A = this chain, B = another copy of it.
Amino acid sequence: MNTDMDRKRPKTYHHGDLRNALIQAGLEMLSESGAAALDLRKVARKAGVSHAAPYRHFADKQSLIAAINEEGFHRLAEQIQSTLREVTGDAVEQLYGIARAYVHFAQENPWLMREMFSGLTIEREAFPGLHQASKTVFMLYMEVIKRGQEQGSIIDVDPGALAGVLWSLLHGVAMLTIEHQMRPYTDGPGGADNVTRFAVQMLYEGLSHK
């Protein structure tokens, strides 16, 4: 992200890409100090500009947060895709893989994850790009479902609906885990992984007797 543009320009004023620098700075502050520390003036200072400069690139604070969240969805999608590239073949194995990827992402980026899905700080409706980015994640889940159906390992039901169920389960596990609501099950190393695997297994096999 920090290209050599910084040096090329004889420090006219500042960045070549302040917009991106602000998103980057916000992302860092979020992961380091939490949502309360994400104030516009500090983000600007961290990016090396005055507190009014961000308004050249974002209409308001909400817009910056929306951009940060969008970047979050892109990263989440990348992490899931990376897992899909590693785990090829068996769709059910892929299911476990992307489940782990989702919960891992939440554990590694709890503040970002909270912002991405909170609906508390920004009006999601006002930022269509956000919705688009989250849809990508949904699509990845649906692809795996479809592959499982083709392979005969997943029942033949509307794959979109099934993807919704899968996503809901994983989202619940992820959020309740980072809010420490699943203790003591998620305690200890690998605890969250075990809970995730168990959850997916239960969804796959069902709670009823076979």
> A residues engaging B (CB < 8 A)?
35-36, 110, 114-115, 117-121, 124-125, 131, 134, 138, 148, 152-155, 157, 160-162, 164-165, 167-173, 175-176, 178-182, 185, 195, 198-199, 202-210
Task: Tell me if B199 and A168 are in contact (CB < 8 A).
Answer: yes
Rounded to whole angstroms, the CA-CA distance of A139 and B166 in the bound complex is 24
Neighbouring B residues of A155 by C-beta, 8 Å:
207-209
Task: Tell me if B182 and A164 are in contact (CB < 8 A).
Answer: yes
What would 5 more interface pairs be, CB under 8 Å, given A171-B175, A206-B208? A115-B120, A134-B181, A168-B199, A171-B172, A206-B206
Rounded to whole angstroms, the CA-CA distance of A85 and B49 in the bound complex is 60
Neighbouring B residues of A121 by C-beta, 8 Å:
35-36, 120
Q: Which of B138, B157, B178 contacts A119 (CB 8 A)?
A: B178
A63 to chain B: closest CB distance in Å?
A: 15
Task: Tell me if A203 and B198 are in contact (CB < 8 A).
Answer: no
Task: Tell me if B162 and A168 are in contact (CB < 8 A).
Answer: no
**Contacts A/B (CB < 8 Å), 5 sampled:** A118-B120, A165-B169, A168-B169, A202-B203, A204-B206
Task: Tell me if B172 and A168 are in contact (CB < 8 A).
Answer: yes
Task: Tell me if A161 and B176 are in contact (CB < 8 A).
Answer: no
A85 to chain B: closest CB distance in Å?
A: 23
Neighbouring B residues of A171 by C-beta, 8 Å:
171-172, 175-176
Neighbouring B residues of A124 by C-beta, 8 Å:
179-180
A36 to chain B: closest CB distance in Å?
A: 8
Rounded to whole angstroms, the CA-CA distance of A147 and B120 in the bound complex is 37
